[in-house]
Structure 1
Amino acid sequence: MKATIDWTGNAGFKATSGTGHEIQMDGPPDHGGENLGPRPMEMLLMGLGGCSSFDVMSILQKSRQDVTACQAELEAERADAVPAVFTKIHLHFVVTGNNLKENMVKRAVSLSAEKYCSASIMLEKAGVEITHSYELRAN
């Protein structure tokens, strides 16, 4: 896996993935940024959410659950000192569908957290406390 990061001026950077996808990152105005994109730490948090959501949906689809929407809401706390690393992250999954089985959703979230989500497992090994919850919604 590869990526390149190109400075675009002030506190802005263009990130390009090895597969050719681009995203603009930027710093806050008080650090010279123009607020043109997410902060790098926000990207890390979004990456964790995407990684875990990918796992949860894959498991639910293989379990033949009729999911019509899945949203992961992430909330993170950071250290007050530099480096301002993540100390706690909570992922809350809102899974909407038809005749969803709660035990299947619980299993999918647990498997992602404990076995499949590389981002989550890596951050936990770095000392970040990661918790998960879920709720089911019917169509």
Structure 2
Amino acid sequence: MRDATIAKSEYVPSEKVVSKVQDFQEDLELFRYCTLPEILKYMECFTGPNIMAMHTMLINKPPDSGKKTSRHPLHQDLHYFPFRPSNSTVCACTAMEHIDWNNGCLAVLPGTHRGPLKLHDYLQWEMFNTSPT
């Protein structure tokens, strides 16, 4: 998949750049991370011991070029999942390098897991655009 930040920037890669790898559960080496006891311990807190991976994805998100193209709008991943019940569906995100507000870190809005799904929205992002202390 092409990264919008690279496509809309002045940066021209001299070689092919991978920005997203999806559904790697059949790759034993990549999927090994998903089965680490340290990861499963946290997932079990939400789902119980019968854990099943439904989707796997690695995302390479370079820093924003100044055009605010590296951020996804605030959204709930459940919009994209065809399976239910939602109360036993968990998404996990692990940063593999330093992330902050400038390169699109994960943001959690308390309470949004209750009630109906919200519309994708950029408008509310700015209220969270402060560095954590």
Structure number with the bigger relative contact order (C-alpha 8 A, sep ≥ 6) is 2
TM-score, normalisation: structure 2: 0.28
TM-score, normalisation: structure 1: 0.27
More strand by share: 1
